[in-house]
Structure 1
């Protein structure tokens, strides 16, 4: 009887030990990033101070929370006065790798899938990663001296075809209060074809 009790106790001990390992699968670094990343952002202040900039609403919300292969988010960008018609949508898979936070950006294989205005907000939960294009673009984030996150696309950027560009680059800066994002498109020869030439968009978190 003592031997059986000892074995059962050992089994319970192993089970208890395994639970924290699963619960702590997200490192402190990743949890810190995720805590800042999700939310609703607005460029209203920048647009009011700079007529060349547009008031944009950026929404990043968690999705597919039951998946274990990363933290997934749905992103929409829309002009403030056309919030029901986003001009950009993406699905982001966020995970940690080699001490960096990777935001892997996907688009839908069917590019028109989100344009059905009959259902708003877009019913992303009905879909799964199988609806995404196999191509993706990574933004790599590292922590700077102030504890905030500095991000950029890999050297050489990502393949892109928007407005005649062949290469896409992004530079980002994420704090608790705001996100700065600078998207630019380039020709194969390195000529900038679109995107801000001076600095990125300042998105302040409003929700």
Structure 2
């Protein structure tokens, strides 16, 4: 979501300044001095989204659940201060088997280096099994360390466009080692109720071997409490 770099510390770039107070657009956190666009992207990402409506409408389309929540990094003070950031945990699973995610990652949401975009940086944790259904834990127990976050993999840079955020990986994609792909690319459109992604994996010859083809993955926000 594979190149090994020292990104977890984002040396000279970012610090997580998580302060639990009132409410960050319903996710229970607010960050002092954090740019509004970072907070907005976090509010759009957190919660539960599914492609179930698309799966019902399009033959062969997968029904996937994506669950995302804010986490607190216990040793965040080890990160060099420059721009504030928020860490999220995210996992994807088939809606038919939500207790068995097939993709798990941490996201670091922060201002881009030029201050014009929001960077969503992906990290792959070393101990996936320990994090299964991590978002089901109470907020006070969603505490991790820098070591738990794992290695940096890729970034998507989101640009505000009206009520949406639109972004993509760098044109050449990101190094990967996932389901046979050595490179991945992604293009995202995100708003308060939905997310559209063109997530694709490519082999060493540049051939696409998995992911979106002509049609994107279309996630819609759902309320699990209302569905029960």
TM-score relative to the length of structure 1: 0.78
Moved more, 89-98 or 128-137: 128-137
**Cα offsets for 1:92-122 (capped at 9, x unmatched):** 110012211011111112344446x9x8947
Correspondent of 2:109 among 84, 87, 94: 94
- Higher-Rg member (1/2): 1
**Cα offsets for 1:134-173 (capped at 9, x unmatched):** 23211110112x3310121112111112232210111111
Correspondent of 1:189 among 205, 215, 218: 205
Matched-pair contact (CA < 8 Å) for 2:123–2:149: yes
Alignment of 1:42-191 (within 5 A): 42-64=50-72, 67=76, 69-97=84-112, 98=114, 99-114=116-131, 121=136, 125-144=142-161, 146-191=162-207
Structure 2: runs of 5 or more not aligned: 1-29, 78-83, 224-228
Measure the CA separation in 1 of the matches of 2:214 and 2:107: 26
Query: Which structure carries more relative contact order (alpha carbon 8 Å, separation 6+)?
Result: 2
Structure 1: runs of 5 or more not aligned: 1-21
Distance 1:55 1:100, change over 3 A: same
* Higher share of residues assigned helix: 1
Distance apart, 1:33 and its partner CA: 1.9
TM-score relative to the length of structure 2: 0.72
**Aligned positions, number:** 183
